Every structure is written in structure tokens, then in C-alpha cells.
């Protein structure tokens, strides 16, 4: 059930998604209207020769080969760089039956703080209209805004399509006293899996270094941002961050679809986590070393994790919806009659 030392996804050994994709271009100079969905694949970006990477441009994990260069699984949309002051464009909002039901989600919140590293999780995700099923790194005071900056690195499977996922960076400079309020910057890309992410387990990974940030699915790198791309977001990503996973429902129908809650009538939907593995990063040698693995055997490790208990748009997160049993951690989305 829980692999030991092999980063390939045991649920799909040897599988390679069938449609080769291209690395999207840097949107730094030509932002795309956030109200539109770009459809033309980008060109491979030129990576400056001085960009520090490990030999062969493959992140090195002792005893493992986490990245398979040249095997991008499917076509990616170009980057979509947006600058906004709110979480999402909520101009078109649809709501579920909140008169009859309360809706609940879950968050697994890491207590450790990281500056750089490699972060893996073998997961089976959720995709119902309106849902967001995620793994992300987050600078904890980001939500305070004001004189706090924002740092966040995301993997998200959205309710509009279980066969596609979104990689995103979110940054915001702290406000200057007496000056204007600084907006957030985001740089979303949506990439097809070549499979339905809700049907089986797959290995998701984020790699964060001072020189680049990358995303992987089943040990295949599908996006890499280097210094100078996305309006300097890689350079700005310096705050220590916690590792988190959550399942919630957004009000932005253009982003995730219309949330009605009807899919919860027959019971909960669940984001399953088989294991989480974290590596530290040595900035001198540019190598990764495994720090720990949580296989979720027994009860939730309270020294490492806590449960979210706040409102996220259409749902309230509650600790009862974070369940550890039979070697898995499950994030549930539920509804309860009033």
C-alpha cells in the first residue's frame, strides 16, 4: 500500500501519458486576460545558461530518479499571469441549497516550516462541480495582507475537469506604509493528466529551490519556472512555508464550475493521501536529502499535522472531516441537513 523508496507511482507502473506536451512560455511580458482560457500551447522557454541546476537539469534525490526529462505528459496551456486584489473573480456566482444544508470540507495543515525542498504525496483527488482538491506550500501569515507578503506554491485539481490540474504561484509584496495596497500576482497553468485523477492514486510533487520551482506528476516534470520568469515570482519566494492539503468549494464558477452539493447526496467525497514525503535542499551542493515520510499508519501525528477549522467560501473546514484510517489520510467533503 505504501511504497518504500520508489518515487514511481505504484498504482500505474510504467505508464506514460500519451500526448506529449510543451513547456509553456513565460507570461511576464504578455499577460493573458484572466477571463479567458488560453488554448494555444506555448513554446519551450529559453533557460539562461547561468541558471543553477543539478547536473543534467534533473533534481537529484539519493537513490531515486524523480524526474524523467523529455516526457511531458500532455499539452499544457500557456502561463496565465494575473494581478488581482481578491482571491478569485466572483462576478458569476452560483450557490448550493444553503437553506437546507451546511457544507463542510477539510484541511491537513503541516506544522513544520520549510525554506526550499522537495515535497511529494501519492494521492487520489476529488473533482465535483465547484470543488478544489489541493496540495500546497504556504507562508502562514500571508492572509494577513498589509505589511505581510504572500508566498504560495499550488497543485490543484478543479471541479471543472478531473483530467486536468492547475499549477500556480501566488506572491504579493508587503504594503508600504502610507502607500498603495499591493495586489497579488498569480501565474496559473492548466495541464491535462492523460487520466482521471479521481480514479486511482498518482504521485504529485513540488520542487522549490532558490533557482527554480517545478511541478511533477508521476515523476515527470511538467512545469519549471526559473529566475526571471513570471515577473520575478521565483526570486520573491523566500519566506518559510508550511505544507498543506485541503478540499473545499469555491464561489468562482468560471474557475471550478457551479457548486450545487448534489454530488454529496449519497455521502461524502474524499481526497485520499497514501503518503507524504519531504526532502530538504542543500543550497551549496544543490541536492535533496529525505527528511521524513508519513505513511499515516495509526493515528494522525499531532506533532506534525493539525486540522483546519475555518470557512473557505462555500464550506466550513472541520476536524471531523480529516480522517486517518487503514494507512490513509482522507479529506472529506460532506453536507448535513439543518
User: Which amino acids are annotated catalytic?
Assistant: 152, 156
Q: Is 202 in contact with 155 (CB distance < 8 Å)?
A: no
DSSP 287: E
- Kindly report the CA angle at 108 between 89 and 335, in degrees rounded to 5? 65
C-alpha dihedral over 52, 58, 60, 64, to 10 degrees? 180
Give the rounded distance of the alpha carbon of 31 from its chain centre. 21
How many residues are given for the chain? Answer: 338
Q: Which residues of 42-56 are buried (b: 16+ CB within 10 A; e: fewer)?
A: beebebeeeeebbee
C-alpha dihedral over 63, 69, 75, 77, to 10 degrees? 90
Dihedral pair phi/psi, residue 225, rounded to 5°: -105, 130
Residue 58's SS3 state is coil
DSSP 321: G
Q: Could you give the CA distance from residue 144 to residue 140 in angstroms, rounded to a whole number?
A: 9
Give the rounded distance of the alpha carbon of 7 from its chain centre. 18
Closest CA to 198 of 160, 168, 254, 154: 160
Q: Is 266 in contact with 102 (CB distance < 8 Å)?
A: no
Q: Is 201 in contact with 274 (CB distance < 8 Å)?
A: yes
Question: Given the C-alpha cell 529525505, which residue does it identify?
Answer: 290
Q: Is 130 in contact with 314 (CB distance < 8 Å)?
A: yes
Q: Residue 312's beta-bridge partner residues?
A: 315
Amino acid at each position: 500500500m505504501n511504497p518504500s523508496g520508489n518515487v514511481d507511482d505504484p498504482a500505474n507502473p510504467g505508464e506514460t501519458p500519451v500526448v506529449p506536451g510543451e513547456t509553456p512560455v513565460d507570461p511576464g511580458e504578455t499577460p493573458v486576460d484572466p477571463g479567458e482560457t488560453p488554448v494555444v500551447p506555448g513554446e519551450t522557454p529559453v533557460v539562461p545558461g547561468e541558471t543553477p541546476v543539478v547536473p543534467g537539469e534533473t533534481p537529484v534525490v539519493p537513490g531515486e530518479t524523480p524526474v524523467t526529462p523529455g516526457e511531458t505528459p500532455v499539452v499544457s496551456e500557456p502561463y496565465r499571469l494575473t494581478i488581482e486584489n481578491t482571491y478569485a473573480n466572483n462576478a458569476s456566482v452560483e450557490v448550493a441549497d444553503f437553506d437546507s444544508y451546511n457544507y463542510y470540507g477539510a484541511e491537513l495543515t503541516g506544522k513544520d516550516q520549510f525554506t526550499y525542498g522537495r515535497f511529494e504525496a501519492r494521492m487520489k483527488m476529488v473533482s465535483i462541480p465547484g470543488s478544489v482538491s489541493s496540495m500546497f506550500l504556504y507562508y502562514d501569515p500571508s492572509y494577513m495582507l498589509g505589511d505581510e507578503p504572500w508566498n504560495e506554491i499550488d497543485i490543484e485539481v478543479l471541479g471543472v475537469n478531473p483530467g486536468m490540474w492547475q499549477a500556480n504561484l501566488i506572491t504579493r509584496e508587503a504594503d508600504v506604509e502610507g502607500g498603495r495596497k499591493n495586489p497579488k500576482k498569480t501565474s496559473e497553468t492548466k495541464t491535462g493528466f492523460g487520466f482521471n485523477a479521481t480514479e486511482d492514486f498518482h504521485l504529485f510533487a513540488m520542487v522549490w529551490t532558490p533557482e527554480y520551482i517545478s511541478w511533477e506528476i508521476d515523476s515527470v516534470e511538467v512545469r519549471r519556472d526559473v529566475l526571471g520568469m513570471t515577473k520575478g515570482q521565483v526570486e520573491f519566494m523566500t519566506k518559510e512555508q508550511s505544507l498543506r492539503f485541503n478540499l473545499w468549494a469555491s464561489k468562482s464558477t468560471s474557475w471550478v464550475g457551479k457548486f450545487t452539493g448534489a454530488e454529496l447526496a449519497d455521502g461524502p467525497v474524499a481526497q485520499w493521501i497514501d503518503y507524504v514525503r519531504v526532502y530538504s535542499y542543500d543550497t551549496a551542493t544543490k541536492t535533496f536529502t529525505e527528511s521524513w515520510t508519513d505513511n499515516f499508519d495509526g493515528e494522525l501525528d499531532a506533532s506534525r499535522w493539525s486540522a483546519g477549522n475555518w470557512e473557505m467560501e462555500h464550506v466550513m473546514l472541520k476536524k471531523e472531516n480529516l480522517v486517518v484510517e487503514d494507512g490513509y489520510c482522507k479529506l472529506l467533503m460532506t453536507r448535513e441537513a439543518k
